[in-house]
Chains A and B, each alone.
Chain A
Amino acid sequence: MDFFSVLYFRFKKVWKAVRLYLVIAGPGLVVMIADNDAGGITTYAATGAKYGYHLIWFLLLLIPIAYYVQEMTVRLGAVTKRGHAEAIFESFGAFWGWFSLIDLMIVDWLTLVTEFVGMTSALAIFGVPAWITVICVILLMGMVVLNGRYWTWEKIALGFCLLNLIYIPAAFMVNPSVADIVGKGLIPNLPGGLTNELFFLLMANIGTTIAPWMLFFQQSSVVDKGLLEKDIKMGKVDTFIGSVITVTVAVFVVIVTGTLLHGVPIDDAATAAKLLMQSNHYIGAFMAIGLFNAGLLGAICISLASSWAFGEIFGWAHSLNTKVKEAPWFYISFFITLVTAGIVPLIPGAPLVLITLFVQVVAVTLLPAALVFLILLLNDKKTMGEYANTPLQNIVSTTIVGGIIILSTMYGVSALFPNIFQ
């Protein structure tokens, strides 16, 4: 064969793989990018404002961590054809099942409230009243979910994922010094030593990258999409690309606030957007739009994670491929979660700080359990067969999960007792 024939056949092979990926792509990308929710953007903005570019290396470390945890849900979902909640009920019995389901419901609802807080505060910058934001978001999410097709929902969600990349042009607009980013950001260092404040921020970054709802969401999403064992390889690629994108976005948020707001105390991303507007209107607007989009994407996934889990356990029809008449309880639970969470930021004097604190603490009760169950389920050779964890995968995943459990526990405990590690 001549050179051009070889080139042609190679191109066809690669193009076939790309087309296959485009069919499989979705759950991994959506869950990972939705991970950059309102709370996540706030954490990254605060990280950049406090420590400049110095913690970019730490964010890059989160790529393999996020990937290794989430790829296990792809295997589990594709092999068992069950969501994470159902898998826990069936494998570990009703006690652990109810514990996980009720805990998930509480964590999801509290997190959803923080997404609405993020969305309302982002659009308030443009003068939109909070109640209009809440009503529009609920209507928009209703339209996205009620179309009766998983594929349509996924493509719309991927569109919102694209908007999450808005921080990349924003970072280029602030003209950061590439030499500074490489010199300060890519070489591991702990600015000012391992202080209590730095430790809390590192833990917050881990906490926002690995959230309990992500495990439940991705596994249910893999099942609803109908991925099979043969799709696991592409599902893993999808998850890896998603984890790279999510950390890339995080790095660009850090670059924006690290360049323009370094040394300025930031409590939330909306404040960062307002301050950025003072130096460059467009960058501030990008920050606010990105925050709204992050909250919206988080809300879409989190509310679905709960509804899928309930449907699995209560035996209701629970697929986005069903119409309202066919799966009324699935959609009712979705809207009840959404509407009740949306009302909270509208209540004058609502304890929003307490709710944020509760999210951190309650998540600590669910995350270790969900991660331990995940590893145990992946070691159940009777169910998983050839897709069970290999010894090497067990070493990697156990190390990662052990580290996450220790750090997230310290994060939760320090949220309860702020002076405990001083």
Chain B
Amino acid sequence: MRTLNQFFSKIREINQRYAHPTVVMSRGVKFSLAVLRIYLFLLVVLMIYKFITVIKVV
């Protein structure tokens, strides 16, 4: 239990340490990150779809 608490406090510490991105958020950077989010979202949707169709067949 203590180890688990230590682990989660470490995660919180990491999240706090990297809470603010240091890269200059120019239009290009914002656009790239937005496209990346959409790309990954679509990919995850595809994977979930594949997973569901495989489960249905099984």
Contacts and interface: CB of A to CB of B under 8 A. Distances in A.
Interface of A: 89-94, 96-97, 99, 313-314, 361, 364-365, 368-369, 372, 376-377, 379-380, 382-383, 409, 412-413, 416-417
Interface string B14-54: 11001111111000110011001001100110110010000
Tell me if A's interface is mostly helix, strand, loop or mixed: helix
Contacts of B19: 93-94
B20 A416 contact: no
A314 B43 contact: no
Interface residues of B, number: 22
B13 to A, nearest CB: 8
Given A90-B18, A380-B23, A417 B50 contact: yes
A90 B33 CA distance: 15
B23 A376 contact: yes
A380 B50 contact: no
Given A91-B23, A382-B24, A413 B40 contact: no
Given A94-B14, A99-B40, 4 more contacts: A92-B33, A376-B29, A380-B23, A382-B24
Interface of B: 10, 14-15, 18-24, 28-29, 32-33, 36, 39-40, 43-44, 46-47, 50
Across the A-B interface, the 6 shortest Cβ-Cβ residue pairs:
A91-B23, A93-B21, A94-B18, A89-B18, A94-B15, A416-B50
- Identify which of B10, B39, B44 gathers the most chain A CB atoms within 10 Å of its CB: B39
Contacts, number: 54
A372 B43 contact: no
A364 B43 contact: yes
Nearest to A405: B39
Nearest to B7: A314
Contacts of B15: 94
Nearest to B10: A314
B32 A372 contact: yes
A272 B32 CA distance: 43
Contact of B40 (A92, A361, A365): A365
A413 B46 contact: yes
A92 B21 contact: yes
Contacts of A90: 18, 21-22
11 contacts: A89-B18, A90-B22, A92-B21, A93-B19, A96-B33, A97-B18, A99-B40, A314-B14, A365-B44, A368-B36, A383-B22
A5 B19 CA distance: 62
A93 B20 contact: yes
Contacts of A417: 50
B50 A377 contact: no
B39 A368 contact: yes
A310 to B, nearest CB: 11
A361 B47 contact: yes
Contacts of A380: 23-24
A365 B43 contact: yes
A369 B33 CA distance: 9
A99 B39 CA distance: 14
B18 A377 contact: no
A45 B14 CA distance: 44
Contacts of B29: 376
A416 B19 CA distance: 35
B33 A313 contact: no
A377 B22 CA distance: 10
Contact of B36 (A91, A93, A369): A369
Nearest to A377: B23
A257 B29 CA distance: 45
B35 to A, nearest CB: 8
Contacts of B36: 368-369, 372
A89 B14 CA distance: 9
Given A361-B47, A380-B23, A313 B40 contact: no
A376 B32 contact: yes
B58 to A, nearest CB: 12
Chain B CB count within 10 A is highest, among A92, A361, A368, for A92
A416 B15 CA distance: 34
A364 B22 CA distance: 26
A416 B22 contact: no
A160 B14 CA distance: 37
Contacts of A361: 47
B24 to A, nearest CB: 7
